[in-house]
Amino acid sequence: MLLALGSCTKNFDKINTNPNSPENINADYLMSEVVLSSAYAYQTDAFKERPVAAGRYITLVQTTINDLFTWGAVGWDDIYSRLSVNQQMYNQAEANGEKQYLAIAKIMKAFNFGYLTDLYGDVPFSQALQSKTGNVTQPVYDQQEKIYPAILQLLEDANELLRNNPGTINADQDVLFAGKPLQWRKFANALRLRMLLRASKKYTNAFADMQTMLNDADRYPLPASNADDASVKYIEGTAANSWPGSTLTMIEFDFTKTKASKELVDNLTALNDPRLAVWVAPVASQEGSTVNRNKYVGVPNAIDDPRSYNGGETHQSTLGSMFRKGSGDMLKASMITYTEVCFILAEALQAGKITIAGKTAADYYNAGVQASMTFYGVQNTAVSNGYYDQAAVKYNGTLEQLITQKWLAMIFKGAEGWFDHRRTGYPHFTIGPLAVKNIVPRRYRYPTTELANNRTNYQNAVKTFGEDDEYTLMWYLK
């Protein structure tokens, strides 16, 4: 009997391990999952959720909650779910000594936590993602002023790890950069620039750190063209792998209720901007218009009965037909772009906070505009039509001009249009008479689930952070 029992239990662990549900998954497979889920979710927010309404790129003429800023509490389980998978990648890479995937896990952790704190302010950070390893199911909220330096350090560490040739990145599983460490380093450093500028009002080392990076291009490589964008192509075929405006993911009715905003159309029209015809569809009919008989007509935000504006929906512009496709060269899930980096550097140079040998703020401003035109296939048109010769387009050294051009270039590129407006006040938006307040929201409210599942820490956070509404300023906006 003893011999029999011994033979039965000898391979017990192997026999009772489900091969179809492995406890450990290779870090490279997890990398693919984290990158795709992060990029796609970020892009979906940028195209049809609260950030695009707050950025005033669109006007909702039906189901106007987002447009009126009556947002209420917003869940964050999707972001923490991605962070949980990323933590699994981190742990797996650390256990296997795979420093290349450890570095990528740090970058994606920084990207997702950066987005999370930019949306909410103070959030669970240091004790988050420890429900399995540390049995922490009610994590404390960390203050944003402590989260930001920690995220910046993650990006610094990731760049350094990849600089030292840590190991091969599986090109087949790397859906972002096909196994190129240099591209990942550019991504990390671009994110660092974004966050340094965002927090520069409160983070005293922001511009000094930025200057350190710019003084050593070999150690801190940055995107140098659109080819360096941290963007994922859509492969279509299924809703999960398609641009969020595709008929696979949004019914046609959504394009009926989602109009191009007056803010967007008026700015593009005033500049005779060739991107207008790419981004915005002409009205179905100019005859019978009651307010504006132009070919392109945006709808004001937060007005009474927006469906009737200008004589009805046949006299209003929807988004361009390009945005109804499932994939395309101009439809990518972008986490950060070369265009954005150009505007970041232009703003810092314009403020006199950094120097770059042989470069001026005008150089980077122009590069940013041209990169956007090139991405959308209208650079030659812009040149031939004299776009850059216009007084309103020629660099004039004002923050309003710079941020307005950046706002245009950042259409459907993350939440950058919203975040820049709440940080700088530009562009000047006509918010709309029915909006909750005459300013855009400053943040998301915490999820209602926190009151049920993490009440004490939520209450402690609100005592420190301030009232849990859309208009309480987070640390770097104060």
What residue type is assigned to position 187 of the chain?
A: F
pLDDT at 249: 59
Residue 5 has pLDDT above 60, yes or no: no
| CA dihedral sign, ordered 323, 328, 332, 337 | negative
312 and 297 Cβ atoms separated by less than 8 Å? no
With pLDDT > 70 as the criterion, what percentage of the chain qualifies? 94
Q: What is the CA radius of gyration of the chain?
A: 24
pLDDT at 131: 83
Phi, psi dihedral angles at 383 (to 5 degrees): -70, -50
CA 17 to mean position of chain CA atoms: 39
Element (H, E) at 141: strand 141-142
Q: Give per-residue pLDDT as tens, 12-45.
A: 333 333 334 445 689 999 999 999 999 999 999 9
418 and 440 Cβ atoms separated by less than 8 Å? yes
Residues 136-159: what's their mean pLDDT?
A: 97
Residue 1 has pLDDT above 70, yes or no: no
pLDDT at 21: 40
Q: Give per-residue pLDDT as tens, 82-135.
A: 999 999 999 999 999 999 999 999 999 999 999 999 999 999 999 999 988 888
Q: Which residues pair with 124 in a beta bridge?
A: 141
Phi, psi dihedral angles at 367 (to 5 degrees): -65, -40
Residue 412 has pLDDT above 70, yes or no: yes
Q: Greater confidence, 241 or 389?
A: 389
Q: What is the DSSP string of 243-283?
A: -TTSTTTS-HHHHHHEEEBHHHHHHHHHTT-TTHHHHBPPP
Phi, psi dihedral angles at 123 (to 5 degrees): -145, 160
**pLDDT category, 425, cuts 50, 70, 90?**
very high
Residues 134-143: what's their mean pLDDT?
A: 93
pLDDT at 298: 98
Q: From CA 274, how far away is CA 219, in angstroms rounded?
A: 38
With pLDDT > 90 as the criterion, what percentage of the chain qualifies? 87
346 and 368 Cβ atoms separated by less than 8 Å? yes
**What pTM value is reported for the model?**
0.93
**pLDDT category, 55, cuts 50, 70, 90?**
very high
pLDDT at 18: 38
pLDDT at 2: 35
Residues 440-460: what's their mean pLDDT?
A: 97
Q: From CA 366, how far away is CA 141, in angstroms rounded?
A: 41
Across 340-373, b (16+ Cβ under 10 Å) vs e yields bbbbbbbbbbbeeebebeeeebbbbbbbbbbbbb
Phi, psi dihedral angles at 24 (to 5 degrees): -115, 130
CA distances (Å), 146 to each of 16, 114, 122, 242, 267, in order?
44, 12, 9, 37, 38
Q: From CA 349, how far away is CA 204, in angstroms rounded?
A: 17
Q: Give per-residue pLDDT as tens, 240-295.
A: 889 998 876 554 436 788 999 999 999 999 999 999 999 999 999 999 999 999 99
Q: From CA 400, how far away is CA 427, in angstroms rounded?
A: 6
Give the helix ranges, DSSP H, for 351-428. Answer: 361-375, 379-384, 399-409, 416-424
37 and 84 Cβ atoms separated by less than 8 Å? no
Q: Give per-residue pLDDT as tens, 325-354.
A: 899 999 999 999 999 999 999 999 999 999
**pLDDT category, 236, cuts 50, 70, 90?**
confident
Of the candidates 69, 66, 68, 61, the residue with the CA atom closest to the CA atom of residue 256 = 61
What residue type is assigned to position 475 of the chain?
A: W
422 and 440 Cβ atoms separated by less than 8 Å? yes
Q: Give me 61's structure tokens.
A: 């003429």
pLDDT at 126: 97
Residues 350-359: what's their mean pLDDT?
A: 98
Cβ-proximal residues to 198 (8 Å cutoff; 6+ apart), any chain: 118, 419, 423, 476
